A and B are shown apart, each in its own frame.
Chain A
Amino acid sequence: MMPYRYLDDLTVADVAFEARGSSLEELFTAAWEATLQVMIENPNSLGKVESRNIALVEPSLDLLLHNFLQELIYYKDAEGLLLRIEDCRIQWVEGRSKFARLDARARGQMIDPKVHRLGTDVKAVTFYRFDLARENRGWTATVVLDV
């Protein structure tokens, strides 16, 4: 079973989904897979040609997820790259100041309409109903994408 499901009743014009993971790393990876699937119907067709490292620090976990998804959307426009997460580490640091830190490695390739069955472009991650929560067996997030 996919670690995400689309929520058809939450929005009419855009795309909403709920992602799950037993860890934050699994949750973030699932949330990006759900986003990617909106833009490309056959994400398995993406070759591992290019690699990018993503490092983010945010004051809260939900902002970390928001900006993680935004960062991957950025590569789609700025470099024409669709990426998949290969390795992801997330830390919640509590010291003199509290913050969430993410280090991830993503691999993928330039968009090629001859190979990739394209879907709908994702413009942005909205804050509408945006939510990240801890549950008994892990983590869940609700995301509405502007398309």
Chain B
Amino acid sequence: MAPAGCIQINENLWEIPPSYKQGMQVPVRIYASKPLLDSMDPAVFEQSTNVATLPGIVGYSYCMPDGHSGYGFPIGGAAAFDIEKGVISPGGIGFDINCGMRLVATSLTWEEVQPQLQRLVDRLFDRIPAGVGGKGFLSLSRSEFRTLSEKGMKWCLKKGYALQEDLDRTEENGSIKEADASKVSEKAVERGYKQIGTLGSGNHYLEIQVAKPENILDEKLAAAYGIDQPNQVVLMFHCGSRGFGHQIATDYLQGFLRVMQSKYGMPVRDRELACAPFGSEEGQDYFKAMNCAINMSFVNRQVILHRIREVFSEVFGKDPMDLGLHQIYDVTHNTAKVESHTYEGKQQNLLIHRKGATRAFAPGMKGVPKEYREAGQPVIIGGSMETGSYLLAGVQSGQQSFFTTAHGSGRTMGRRQAKKQFRGQDLEKRLRDRGIYVRSVSYAGLAEEAGAAYKDIDEVVRSTAAAGLSRPVVKLVPVGNVKG
């Protein structure tokens, strides 16, 4: 329930003024319909208002329609910071740096895939490690791993794990600049260098989905993104920078806590919101290390795509390109990036933190792939394994939130509560009865991801669209799922 003092701006926008809490520099803006606002836990408001106190924040502290409590920022939180006066905070990015979504088209229809579904899911489950302790197939030296963390998907291109078109259709072309592996600890490398090509667990998954004709919401945009035949099959997956990113965030969070008050005179309101001035030595070191994790995560998803292409090729006996396995797009969730935005009538560089939120650039903007320049940036919103996911497009009215939109359906039920309420084995059977074939490393993990543990994704997307943050293009329904 929203706190007293929360003002309704319109049907899908709410504001908490700076008078709500001492130290707030800007108001909080929450994008949500009334039912979604009511479903947000109290920590969302506590955390969003804490974000509003950070030095150098400009505009608003934002919360997206799928927002729920996190640590530091809420999940679904976003904030822009002045480059000179602002800070960078690991708690505004999350431990799973560049956790993100990738969507891949095929030229296959559901009718063609259905007879092979079980074999496909089983092979994907065998070939793409998931769950606690999963290790990838790449045998890399620590030094090579450091190189790939600086190069991102360019490294994959050189090694034969990527096509140029994959890079072209990835946020930042899969290789973010200003990544410096000398700013990364040995511990981070040790945690990550064997994990390339692994899904992880929790809400990470790989899904085979179908674009049914009745779920095409914008035919022209769907065609622009390569979804142009009835019952076309696509693949969607969600994973991040694994132990590498988790350790980088931990290292710098602790480092910032040591200097925040003593060196920079900034009060520590919430230790998860530890920060350093963006231009400081500490801030820049974290930025460069975080960029390494962004690149590692792009590589992780690319190597998984390489495996997907191998599996489809093996099962259908054709070259992956003859099966139309073209990437549609790859979006990041947990990042802080320097972007050029119009703010207070001036074009300026700002540091945009997005935590469990997606960049959604409008048609014509620099940074949108050439082939999508008219359509706008594809936005991938992942739902639960029971309810489906969405492909959307960036729109000009997204300027109101520095072109930031929702990232998922958002949890509404705690993990333990979900495990008490559902049994993984029952859920697996129920899904199979509905024609969704699931393989999971963990029945407990499966139960935690039951559809009822999440908000209504249709309502999240309705609210997102009505707020003018992005435009729905296709709803995608799951038929096969590999769960970590």
Contact = CB atoms under 8 A, between A and B. Distances in A.
Contact of A126 (B192, B272, B417): B272
Interface string A60-74: 000100110010011
A125 B246 CA distance: 10
Contacts of B96: 123, 146
Interface string A110-147: 11010001111101111110100000000000001011
Contact of A13 (B75, B191, B246, B249): B75
A97 to B, nearest CB: 15
A12 B414 contact: yes
Nearest to A17: B416
A74 B243 CA distance: 8
Nearest to A40: B132
A39 B132 contact: yes
Which of B68, B249, B415, B484 has the most chain A CB within a 10 Å cutoff? B415
A117 B191 contact: no
A111 B133 contact: yes
Nearest to A78: B190
A128 B411 contact: no
Given A12-B68, A118-B441, A128-B71, A80 B416 contact: no
Interface in B436-471: 441-445, 448
B230 interface: no
Contacts of B432: none
A12 B41 contact: yes
A127 B71 CA distance: 8
Contact of A113 (B71, B131, B246, B249): B131
B453 to A, nearest CB: 9
B411 A13 contact: yes
B190 A127 contact: no
A41 interface: yes
A80 B68 contact: no
Given A121-B200, A121-B484, A123-B96, A128 B131 contact: no
Given A74-B191, A120-B202, A146-B246, 10 more contacts: A12-B68, A40-B132, A41-B444, A73-B246, A74-B243, A82-B133, A111-B132, A111-B133, A113-B131, A119-B444
5 closest residue pairs by CB, A with B: A128-B71, A77-B243, A111-B133, A127-B271, A77-B191
23 contacts: A8-B417, A12-B69, A13-B68, A13-B415, A14-B415, A77-B192, A78-B187, A78-B190, A80-B135, A82-B133, A111-B132, A113-B131, A118-B131, A118-B201, A118-B441, A118-B444, A119-B445, A120-B202, A120-B442, A121-B202, A124-B246, A128-B72, A146-B246
Interface of B: 41, 43, 68-72, 75, 94-96, 131-133, 135, 187, 190-192, 195, 200-203, 242-243, 246-247, 249-250, 253-254, 257, 270-272, 274, 411-417, 441-445, 448, 484
